Amino acid sequence: MKYPLYNLTICTGIFFGFPQYSQGSQIVTYNDDTSIQTGTVRSLSLGGSMSLSGMGKGDAFGNPASIYNIPQSIIFSFRNLPANLSQIHILSFSWKNKKSSFSILYHQQSIDEIPNTINAFSGYDSMGRPLLDYDNITKFTDIKIGFLVTMARQYNQSTNIGITLKPVFRKIGNESAVGIGLDFGIIKKYPDDLYIGVTARNIIPVITNWSTGTNEINLPEFIIGFEKTYDRVSILMDSYMQLTDTNFTDAISGYHLGIEYQILDFIKIRGGRSDIHSITAGFGIELHKYQVDYTYLETDDYYAIQSISVQTAVDNIFESLKKIDP
């Protein structure tokens, strides 16, 4: 089959249905800061550069083509948003055969113990101040769960292509929603360690259908990026354009810039900047067949986000289990 990913894209659209913007329901368009909410720890420390930062790392968040030829591995990542307001857990498993590479990623973000004061108002005191009946204050949870199912393969000796299917589930209190999206990516290698990547995110927009009748839409985003390596230094830069209305006439744009320096054979330090973040920094340590990555990210709103991930090959886990003496 000459164009397997193209055929898969068409079949996915036919099976799940291409977006239909019904006039009978309210459509809410919004644009997440995806470089904070998603992406690998390495991409966060590189200013949010996602188009090429996942090459060989099993990162399907950025460019689906980046998972081609990755080793069979398991990655666990934990991200803590400011003041423990929200936590993000990511678990992914990657494998390959002779022609293609595959990845399944589980992503969960939750905010617990949110006060619900809708039924707590009990009138006003003599000074006209509102009174609350604290016995009527309940708690609820906002949880978002997503899966990224990715396949990538080599188109020719210098070009990789990939596709990611993204089912999502959302629940806030007693209301819930489901949706699905699709990403496509290309990475091309040029002489002198230069890579250029193009990513189309949400080419089938993520339409999240709520039980309330509201539809939320994540509109398409287009990213072009490059990575250039000079000896021990790698420079990465992304430029993106995100559509902001359902007529596809308005958009926002910006950039992500990162640099990585290998100070020792097993240690890399990273830094970055984007139009959203004031500064990002981090490091990666590869030791004893394990890789640990850490990121510190400070936003223009003066709050910090810290992330850590651990990656190891599946074969290493099996070897460790064999050494256990029951």
Pairing mode of beta strands 290-299, 277-287: antiparallel
Indicate whether 22 belongs to any domain. no
Give the CATH number, domain containing residue 193: 2.40.160.60
Does 17 reside within a domain? no
Q: Say if 162 falls within a structural domain.
A: yes
> Tokens at residue 119, please?
């039924």
Does a structural domain hold residue 201?
yes
Extract the tokens encoding 288: 């004893």
Helix (H, G, I), strand (E, B) or coil at 66: helix
Distance between CA 182 and CA 305 in Å, rounded?
28
Q: What is the DSSP code (8-state) at residue 15?
A: H
In a domain, 127, yes or no: no
The tally of domains found in the chain comes to: 1
- Domain of residue 247 covers 43-112+139-322
Whether residue 151 lies inside any domain: the answer is: yes
Q: Is residue 3 part of a domain?
A: no
Does 4 fall in a domain? no
What's the CA gap between 101 and 93, in Å, rounded?
A: 11
Q: Are 214 and 25 in contact (CB under 8 A)?
A: yes
> Residue 136, SS3?
helix
pLDDT digits (tens), the chain, 326 positions: 443 443 433 333 333 333 444 443 444 444 444 434 456 788 888 888 877 755 555 567 778 998 887 778 888 888 776 656 677 888 888 888 888 999 999 988 888 888 888 888 888 888 888 888 888 888 888 898 989 999 999 999 899 999 999 998 999 888 899 988 899 999 999 998 899 999 998 887 777 888 888 888 888 889 999 999 898 999 999 998 988 877 778 888 888 899 999 999 899 999 998 776 668 899 999 887 788 999 888 766 656 778 888 887 666 554 554 455 54
